[in-house]
Amino acid sequence: MPLWKPAAIADRKSITAHIAQDNPRAAIEMGDMLIQKAAQFDQHPMPGRVGRVKGTRELVAHSNYILIYRIVGKVAEVLRVKHAAQKWP
């Protein structure tokens, strides 16, 4: 199971809270989907592209959201979850 860093947890909570304003069910589904996409890192740690920040990788988890992560040893660390339209870094 990947390690979610505090900033990534906060990002995920913010995203789901925003979605929940209009559609609580969709918010739950989005949160679950992000967790499921990150869980794939255990079996396939390099599915994403090379990240814009050195030492990171980026996975388009949904057409609107990108998981930013790094591999430390055999552990995937989810660093952030960003909307595709957000400027990063």
**By C-alpha distance, which of 33, 28, 24 is closest to 67?**
33
The tens digit of pLDDT for each residue in 34-81 reads: 999 999 988 888 888 999 999 999 999 999 999 999 999 989 999 999
Non-local (6+) Cβ contacts of 46 within 8 A are: 57, 71
Q: Given this structure, which CATH class describes domain 3-83?
A: alpha beta
Task: Band the pLDDT of 88: cuts 50, 70, 90.
Answer: confident
Residue of 50 and 1 predicted with greater confidence: 50
Task: Band the pLDDT of 87: cuts 50, 70, 90.
Answer: confident
pTM above 0.75, yes or no: yes
Q: What is the distance between the alpha carbons of residues 29 and 46, in angstroms, rounded to a whole number? A: 24
